[in-house]
């Protein structure tokens, strides 16, 4: 067990003096230290082989960069945790950086999960499907894939080659004849017995072998079967096997880079320039390229490439499966320590290699070229975005260019399934991970009252902001709020924010032009007459993009809620009818409508349905049965 130390020096001490005071009480042991500023915001998280020696360096007042000097000067308190080993300290440091997001650490900002393929084993006829998130389903997982496109391409190949089902269990159990996927030779139709479960299990085993990198053996067996079928004059079966072999062979042709000798590895290439960095990540599994993704971690221009690579890799695998081999363009700091920590976490040997020649070096060079191009595009976009925000600042009379813009819109049909939406934009463009939707909940709201809906959305958003700030937290705070609407919507927004005591955020309304024509928008600001921007102004185009994105997101959220409402099954509303009984009822009667037409005696014949429950189901649909 690690020992936690949370001591604070006297209230008058700060910066280097505070650190010097803390050093007196620190042990000469491995652990993690945390620096905090005014109000408790996290400044930095670091690990050390010796807490006493490492933290003492900050107290000496001699720093390599102004950035470190500023960090020390801002420090108002520190916390420490001792660990058994430096490896444990590294793992704890990675976890805390992801959790606290300190201001002065290299930070991986995009931590979305990757899609995977799972062969689900909970059913006699295993299901092949795309999966994202925790491994809560019983089955075999394969991945990660860099994008939905990469996983969909592989799924398409697997369906052609191995004919595995992708339908849900409820659809499988209700089939009486093969579906369209069988007609186009994408499924072997185990649901209707066109293939025995034993033969189907053989297809599943072949798919698993292929995904584990044994593609040559699988293709070899198929080729032998095709030849045998041809020799036996079973030309139709031979043609089917030929098509399956072609599907597997297409994988190598569709990907730009495929290693000949590499079975499993992740490739990391770093390009840093002008205080920005890009890390391009390629995934190779089963001897195939499973896609790539570009990341733009938060760095400082004084950070060394080896330091950035070490921080990035550590945070990248905090919640992802760790491969046996990592190829890097630059050897990370504490390379052996990171590899040892990954070995402990993954339960198998992990190598981190910066190759100098051969196929592995060519893979790294290819990733590095992608990183260079992605960073160039990012820097060009950032420069253009910065100019737009400066121009927006001038157009709206803001004191400084906004770092965070929140745009709000509503969507509904005649007041039903009303949804509010918030999108976020800033110097980095649209921040989709910060988007939020609000299901309109107020029972007192008149259907279709856009003013009341906007009030509810803003009240919920800024009441939460005020509550978190009062608790000493540091939630994201907008510099500019844009409301879809004119003077009335703006007045409603200002009223809500005034009630909550939020009076230091700029608010503006964007009203569509006559006949909703783009280019004729009018802008409303508190205390100013409505105004328009030049029809070809870049700022006008930018504001139109923000409004259109908010509208798109709001409509999407509304459609999702409406489709969920339409798909809601009446059986879900009946007490005592859970997933198993619901499945049994639908299997017995075909649909909820069939259940509604059934008599009490027929309902009671279904497995798991008692007389009392049968009566309750009947009463739900048709009222009490006459006695």
Per-residue pLDDT reduced to its tens digit, 410-435: 887 655 678 889 999 988 888 888 99
Domains 3-100 and 265-376 share a fold: no
One-character DSSP codes across 101-157: --TTS-B----PPPPEEEEE-SSSS-EEEEE-SS--SSEEEE---SSHHHHHHHHHH
| The token pair that represents 539 in the structure block | 């700022």
Question: Tokens 């027929």 appear where?
Answer: 602
pLDDT band per the 50, 70, 90 thresholds, residue 503: confident
Averaged over 387-413, what is the pLDDT?
87
* pLDDT tier at 64, thresholds 50, 70, 90: low
Mean predicted confidence (pLDDT) in 73-84: 92
Q: How large is the average pLDDT for residues 53-57? A: 91
Confidence band for 110, pLDDT divided at 50, 70 and 90 = low
Fold exhibited by the domain 570-622: DNA polymerase; domain 1 (1.10.150)
For residue 595, name the pLDDT band (cuts at 50, 70, 90): confident
Alpha helix locations (H) across 164-214? 169-174, 180-183, 197-211
Give the span between the Cα atoms of 419 and 565, in whole angstroms.
13
For the record, the structure tokens of 285 come out as 């599994």
Cα distance between residue 332 and residue 342, in whole Å: 14
pLDDT score for 626: 41
The CA distance from 397 to 300, in Å, is: 31
Q: What is the pLDDT of residue 249?
A: 65
- CA–CA separation, 171 and 182 (whole Å): 14
For position 565, what pLDDT does the model report? 61
Residue 573 CB contacts under 8 Å (≥ 6 apart), including other chains: 620
Token pair recorded at residue 245? 């072999």
pLDDT more than 70, % of the chain: 89
Give me 302's structure tokens.
Answer: 């004084």
pLDDT for the residue 625: 46
Share of the chain above pLDDT 90, in %: 26
Q: Does the pLDDT value for residue 327 go beyond 90?
A: yes
- Give yes or no for a contact between 483 and 551, defined as CB atoms under 8 angstroms apart: no
Name which residue leads in pLDDT, 83 or 319. Answer: 83
CATH architecture type of domain 265-376: 2-Layer Sandwich (3.30)
Q: How far is the C-alpha of 585 from the C-alpha of 113, rounded, in Å?
A: 36
Report the topology of domain 3-100.
Answer: GIY-YIG endonuclease (3.40.1440)
pLDDT at 513: 67
- Reading the block at residue 332, the tokens are 């990370």
At residue 89 the predicted structure's pLDDT band, cuts being 50, 70 and 90, is: very high
Residue-wise pLDDT tens digits, 563-592: 666 556 677 778 888 878 888 887 787 777
Q: Are 286 and 299 in contact (CB under 8 A)?
A: no
Q: What is the pLDDT of residues 14-26, one digit of tens each?
A: 888 899 999 989 9
Worst-scoring range by mean pLDDT, 79-83, 92-96, 178-182, 259-263?
259-263
pLDDT at position 376 over 80: yes
Mean pLDDT lowest among 156-165, 268-277, 494-503, 537-546? 156-165
Q: What is the DSSP letter of 456?
A: H
Number of H helices, E strands in the chain: 20, 19
* pLDDT at residue 332 in the model: 94
* Cα distance between residue 345 and residue 432, in whole Å: 31
**Do residues 34 and 78 lie in contact, with contact meaning Cβ atoms separated by under 8 Å?**
yes
What is the DSSP pairing of strand 480-484 with strand 506-511? parallel
| Rounded mean pLDDT, 367-378 | 89
**What is the rounded distance in angstroms from the CA atom of residue 112 to the CA atom of residue 294?**
12
pTM > 0.75: no
Q: What is the b/e burial string over 194-215, where b = at least 16 CB atoms within 10 angstroms of the residue's CB? A: ebeeeebeebbebbbbbbebbb
Contacts by 497-503 with C-beta closer than 8 Å and gap 24+? 497/458, 497/462, 499/459, 500/459, 500/462, 500/463, 500/466, 501/466, 502/462, 502/465, 502/466
Mean pLDDT of the chain: 84
Which residues lie across from 295 on neighbouring strands?
Answer: 279
CA angle at residue 617 from 613 to 622, to 5 degrees? Answer: 145
- Region 81-92: mean pLDDT is 92
Residue 605 pLDDT > 50, yes or no? yes
Q: How far apart are the C-alpha atoms of 84 and 344, rounded to whole Å?
A: 14
Confidence (pLDDT) at 254 = 46
Residue 554 near residue 421, CB atoms below 8 Å: yes
CATH of domain 405-565: 3.30.420.340
Residue 627's pLDDT is: 39
Going along 162-287, which residue ranges are E strands? 265-273, 276-285
Confidence of residue 151 (pLDDT cuts 50, 70, 90): confident
Which residues touch 500 (CB under 8 Å, ≥6 apart)?
459, 462, 463, 466
Among 77, 104, 103, 80, smallest CA distance to 92 is for: 80
- What are the boundaries of each domain within the chain? 3-100, 116-254, 265-376, 405-565, 570-622
The model's confidence at residue 355, banded by pLDDT at 50, 70 and 90, is very high
Average pLDDT over residues 400-404: 88
What value does the mean pLDDT take over residues 448-471? 85
pLDDT at 67: 86
Nearest one of 615, 614, 621 to 592, comparing CA atoms? 621
Q: Is the alpha carbon torsion for 88, 89, 94, 97 positive or negative?
A: positive
**pLDDT value for 415:** 54
Tally of CB atoms within 10 A around 59: 17
Among 52-56, 122-126, 465-469, where is mean pLDDT lowest?
465-469
Higher pLDDT, 216 or 285: 285
């Amino acid at each position: 067990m690690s020992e936690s130390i949370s001591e604070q020096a006297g209230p008058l001490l700060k910066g280097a003096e505070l650190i010097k005071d803390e050093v007196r009480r620190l042990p000469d042991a491995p652990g993690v230290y945390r620096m905090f500023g005014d109000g408790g915001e996290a400044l930095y998280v670091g690990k050390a082989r010796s807490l006493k020696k490492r933290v003492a360096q900050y107290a000496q007042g001699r720093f390599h960069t102004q950035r470190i000097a500023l960090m020390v000067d801002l420090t108002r308190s520190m916390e420490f945790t001792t660990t058994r080993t430096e490896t444990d300290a590294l793992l704890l440091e990675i976890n805390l950086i992801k959790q606290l997001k300190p201001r002065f650490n290299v930070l991986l900002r995009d931590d979305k999960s990757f899609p995977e393929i799972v062969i689900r084993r909970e059913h006699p006829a295993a299901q092949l499907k795309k999966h994202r998130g925790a491994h809560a389903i019983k089955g075999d997982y394969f991945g990660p894939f860099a994008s939905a496109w990469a996983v969909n391409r592989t799924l398409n190949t697997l369906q052609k080659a191995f004919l595995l089902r992708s339908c849900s269990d409820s659809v499988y159990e209700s089939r009486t004849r093969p579906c369209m996927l069988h007609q186009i030779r994408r499924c072997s139709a185990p649901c209707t017995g066109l293939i025995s479960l034993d033969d189907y299990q053989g297809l599943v085993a072949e798919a698993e072998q292929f995904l584990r990198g044994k593609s040559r053996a699988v293709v070899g067996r198929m080729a032998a079967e095709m030849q045998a079928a041809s020799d036996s004059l079973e030309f139709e079966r031979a043609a089917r096997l030929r098509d399956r072999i072609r599907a597997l062979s297409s994988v190598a042709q569709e990907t730009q880079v495929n290693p000949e000798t590499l079975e499993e590895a992740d490739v990391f290439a770093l390009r840093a320039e002008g205080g920005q960095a890009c890390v391009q990540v390629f995934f190779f599994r089963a001897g195939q390229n499973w896609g790539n993704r570009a990341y733009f971690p938060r760095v400082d221009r004084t950070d060394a490439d080896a330091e950035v690579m070490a921080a990035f890799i550590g945070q990248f695998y905090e919640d992802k499966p760790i491969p046996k081999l990592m190829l890097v363009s630059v050897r990370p700091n504490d390379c052996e320590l990171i590899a040892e920590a990954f070995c402990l976490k993954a339960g198998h040997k992990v190598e981190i290699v910066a190759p100098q020649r051969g196929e592995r070096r060519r893979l790294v060079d290819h990733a590095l070229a992608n990183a260079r191009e992605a960073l160039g595009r990012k820097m060009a976009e950032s420069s253009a975005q910065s100019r737009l925000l400066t121009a927006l600042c001038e157009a709206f009379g803001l004191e400084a260019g906004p770092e965070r813009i929140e745009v709000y819109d509503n969507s509904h049909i005649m007041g039903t399934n009303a949804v509010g939406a918030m999108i976020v934009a800033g110097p980095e463009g649209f921040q989709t991970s910060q988007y939020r939707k609000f299901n309109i909940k107020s029972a007192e709201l008149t259907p279709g009252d856009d003013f009341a809906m906007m009030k509810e959305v803003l009240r919920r958003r800024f009441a939460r902001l005020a509550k978190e700030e009062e608790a000493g937290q540091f939630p994201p705070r907008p510099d500019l709020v844009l409301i879809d609407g004119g003077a009335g919507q703006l007045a409603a927004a200002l009223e809500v924010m005034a009630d909550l005591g939020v009076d230091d955020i700029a608010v503006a309304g964007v009203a569509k032009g006559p006949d909703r024509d783009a280019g004729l928008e009018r802008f409303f600001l508190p205390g100013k007459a409505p105004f328009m921007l030049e029809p070809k102004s870049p700022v006008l185009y930018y504001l139109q993009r923000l409004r259109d994105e908010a509208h798109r997101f709001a409509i999407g959220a509304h459609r999702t809620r409406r489709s969920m409402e339409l798909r809601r099954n009446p059986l879900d509303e009946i007490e005592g009818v859970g997933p198993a009984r619901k499945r049994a009822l639908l299997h017995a009667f075909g649909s909820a409508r069939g259940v509604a037409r059934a008599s009490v005696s027929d309902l009671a014949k279904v497995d798991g349905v008692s007389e009392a429950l049968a009566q309750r189901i009947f009463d739900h649909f048709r009222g009490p049965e006459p006695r």
